[in-house]
């Protein structure tokens, strides 16, 4: 059987003009997946408005359906309707597949012991390389039966569920998804769940996002914000179904803010303002340090780039906003002076080794790159034409698309990988920037 022709590359021809637009950004992937699982654990029906339709969120929704819950996805209306299981799952046996969705894998693994039966959760080959052992260890400390099927400390995971008793656990601070997973599932345990957080902490803003969504559905989580050393969810609380509005995705907004900065233009995103709990909105402060002007209002954020897009290099720790590190790295070649990005060693365990991938592709563009365990330094050199590999990583494709707005000739390979979180990214980028997006077909 012949292989199916697909879009092998996206050739981007910039207009040479500054961006001047209001960009419409789809709903947050992180919030959509958090809200989907919480709605599944709630009593009654929930309607999630402004929800993201992407591979990651569809994987989560399909997994919840496989667990016996009723989930309706209205793609045109940007909403999910979920009939919750009030703290458990109806199915007593299920095979779940979540692709390369790290949030779905971790969130569901922590929640599966709330059911009663035999569950198995798996993903693509890359997912089978992404460690999950600390989460499984903590689940066993809470009284659950959850194991790595192949004994590798990675998925597939098999859970023999009989309810989650609860108790005290310790979880390494370098895995923000673990804390979010236990905070949500902990409400359904008969005992209070307390989580200790030893070691260096990463991506702490996501814990605020989790607590905010939980609160909206009626459950309070206690977070020790003095030193982030512990978290607790008191027993006896109950999620209640509700109508819930999901705000635009701050991580995906970063590309449009960067486009404005690097072209010396103006980019605005409505619905994403100072009340947002999404830490990745702080990416605009990195652009501000590079010379852009930033305004954050009650319900909007706007970035204006310096004249001619003349940015300056920065030295910045992006530990808390590592999903935007690729965005910053992709515009660093157009800055005056080196840019150093620190604190993103944990990004080596994402969809790909993002630090190594950045270094490799930036060198293809003629840049001088020093790679370190926790980050890299990019010293600008004349940009040359290149075919940019994306490593089946949506953020590699979207970040280097922004570089293409200033680069002489860049082709983004396998652009379809953006379907993971932003299926129509290139269409929207073309509308906002006026740049010509030319898909080139091929066979994978």
Phi, psi dihedral angles at 387 (to 5 degrees): -95, 120
DSSP secondary structure, 59-119, as one string: HHHHHHHHTT-EEEEETTTTEEEEE--SSS-S-SEEEEE-TT-HHHHHHHHHHGGGSEEEE
Residue 145 designated active-site: no
What's the distance, Cα to Cα, between the start and end of the chain in Å? 13
Q: What token pair was written down for 18?
A: 């500054």
Q: What token pair was written down for 358?
A: 């950045």
User: Distance (Å, rounded) from C-alpha 262 to C-alpha 90?
Assistant: 51
Catalytic residue among 323, 374, 393, 424: 323
> Can you name the residues that pair with 62 across neighbouring β-strands?
none
Contact 130, 103 (CB under 8 A): no
Phi, psi dihedral angles at 59 (to 5 degrees): -60, -45
Classify 17 in phi/psi space as left (phi over 0), alpha (psi -120 to 50) or beta. Answer: beta
Q: Which helix (H) or strand (E) holds 22?
A: strand 20-22
DSSP secondary structure, 320-366, as one string: GGGGGHHHHHHHGGGEES-EEEES-GGGGGSSS-HHHHHHHHHHHTT
Residue 315 CB neighbours (<10 A): 12
Q: What token pair was written down for 224?
A: 């020790």
What are the strands, taking DSSP E only, across 227-292? 230-233, 243-245, 266-270
User: Distance (Å, rounded) from C-alpha 330 to C-alpha 196?
Assistant: 36
Peptide bond into 156 cis (omega under 30): yes
The catalytic residue positions are: 323
């Amino acid at each position: 059987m012949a292989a199916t022709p697909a879009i092998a590359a996206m050739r981007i021809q910039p207009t040479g003009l500054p961006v001047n637009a209001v960009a419409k950004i789809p709903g947050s992937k992180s919030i959509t997946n958090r809200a989907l699982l919480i709605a599944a654990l709630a009593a009654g029906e929930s309607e999630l408005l402004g929800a993201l339709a992407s591979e990651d969120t569809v994987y989560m929704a399909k997994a919840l359906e496989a667990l016996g819950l009723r989930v309706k996805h209205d793609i045109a209306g940007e909403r999910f309707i979920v009939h919750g299981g009030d703290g458990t799952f109806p199915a007593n046996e299920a095979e779940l597949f979540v692709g390369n969705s790290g949030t779905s894998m971790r969130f569901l693994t922590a929640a599966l012991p709330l059911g009663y039966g035999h569950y198995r959760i798996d993903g693509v080959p890359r997912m089978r390389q992404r460690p999950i052992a600390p989460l499984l260890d903590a689940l066993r400390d809470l009284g659950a039966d959850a194991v790595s099927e192949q004994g590798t400390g990675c998925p597939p995971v098999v859970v023999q569920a009989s309810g989650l008793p609860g108790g005290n656990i310790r979880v390494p601070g370098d895995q923000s998804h673990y804390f979010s997973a236990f905070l949500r599932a902990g409400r359904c345990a008969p005992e209070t769940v307390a989580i200790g957080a030893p070691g260096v902490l990463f991506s702490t803003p996501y814990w605020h996002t989790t607590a905010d969504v939980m609160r909206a559905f009626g459950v309070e989580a206690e977070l020790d914000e003095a030193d982030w050393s512990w978290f607790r969810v008191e027993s006896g609380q109950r999620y209640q179904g509700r109508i819930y509005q999901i705000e635009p995705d701050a991580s995906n907004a970063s590309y449009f803010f960067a486009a404005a900065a690097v072209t010396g233009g103006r980019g605005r995103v409505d619905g994403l303002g100072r009340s947002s709990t999404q830490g990745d909105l702080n990416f605009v402060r990195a652009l501000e340090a590079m010379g852009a002007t930033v305004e954050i209002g009650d319900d909007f954020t706007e970035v204006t780039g310096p004249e001619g897009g003349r940015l300056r290099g920065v030295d910045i720790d992006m530990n808390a906003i590592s999903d935007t590190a690729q965005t910053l790295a992709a515009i660093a070649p157009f800055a005056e002076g080196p840019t150093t990005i620190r604190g993103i060693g944990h990004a080596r365990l994402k969809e790909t080794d993002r630090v190594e991938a950045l270094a490799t592709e930036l060198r293809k563009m003629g840049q001088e790159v020093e790679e370190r365990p926790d980050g890299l330094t990019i010293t600008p050199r004349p940009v040359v034409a290149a075919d940019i590999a994306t490593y089946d990583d949506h953020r590699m494709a979207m970040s280097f698309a922004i570089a293409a707005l200033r680069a002489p000739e860049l082709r983004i390979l396998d652009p379809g990988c953006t379907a993971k979180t932003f299926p129509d990214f290139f269409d929207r980028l073309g509308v906002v920037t006026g740049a010509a997006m030319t898909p080139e077909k091929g066979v994978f």
